[in-house]
């Protein structure tokens, strides 16, 4: 999944750098070819390159066409290692707002925000210790946390059917 609010600016900037670099390389190469041809014509030396400008620029254009999709793919993978964890943290916080319960976040091994995962999970454990009503069923199975039975949830439930079920109606 692509999170454009995080990945978009990074991708746009790096692709812009790539395009600017290649444009500059082509302009400098064409300038060098033109200068070489001008000097050759002034000096009367016809021993210069017999290749046309298009033939001389073609390898750069081919390399550009091959490298651009590879670079975009690699940048998407790299930025996903940042955007994926942000997405998980957002979901965990949204679930807390919705339900009043907090769950730990588990990231992939290759994600770049491993330190944030451990800090967030320490925060969740502290919340569970201070406010047992924030413990979810999946966290109850952890040996580290326990919840007092019958502890009320301080946040309102989201829909009426859940409220009626909780009240035994």
Distance (Å, whole) CA 77 – CA 56? 34
Rounded CA-CA distance 146/165 in Å is 24
b (16+ CB within 10 A) / e for 3-21? eeebbeeebeebeeebeee
pLDDT over 70 (residue 3): yes
Residue range 31-77, pLDDT digits in tens: 888 888 888 788 777 665 667 777 777 888 888 888 889 988 988 88
Count of CA atoms in the C-beta half-sphere (13 A) of 108: 14
Q: Residue 30 contacts by C-beta under 8 Å, 6 or more apart in sequence?
A: 53, 57
On the question of pLDDT at 159 being above 90, the answer is no
Q: Identify the helix (H) or strand (E) that includes residue 167.
A: helix 160-167
Q: Are 73 and 96 in contact (CB under 8 A)?
A: no
pLDDT above 70: residue 167: no
User: For residue 27, what pLDDT band results from cuts at 50, 70 and 90?
Assistant: confident
SS3 of residue 112 by DSSP? coil
């Amino acid at each position: 999944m692509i999170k454009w609010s995080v990945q978009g600016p990074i991708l746009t900037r790096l692709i812009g750098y790539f395009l600017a670099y290649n444009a500059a390389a082509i302009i400098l190469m064409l300038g060098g070819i033109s200068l070489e041809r001008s000097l050759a014509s002034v000096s009367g030396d016809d021993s210069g390159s017999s290749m046309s400008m298009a033939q001389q620029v073609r390898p750069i254009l081919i390399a550009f066409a091959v490298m651009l999709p590879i670079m975009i793919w690699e940048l998407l993978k790299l930025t996903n290692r940042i955007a994926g964890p942000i997405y998980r943290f957002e979901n965990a916080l949204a679930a807390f707002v919705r339900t009043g319960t907090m769950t730990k976040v588990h990231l992939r091994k290759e994600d770049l925000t491993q330190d944030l995962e451990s800090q967030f999970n320490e925060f969740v454990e502290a919340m569970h210790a201070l406010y047992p009503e924030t413990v979810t069923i999946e966290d109850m199975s952890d040996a580290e946390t326990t919840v007092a039975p019958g502890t009320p949830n301080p946040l309102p439930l989201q829909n009426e059917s859940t409220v009626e079920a909780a009240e035994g109606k």
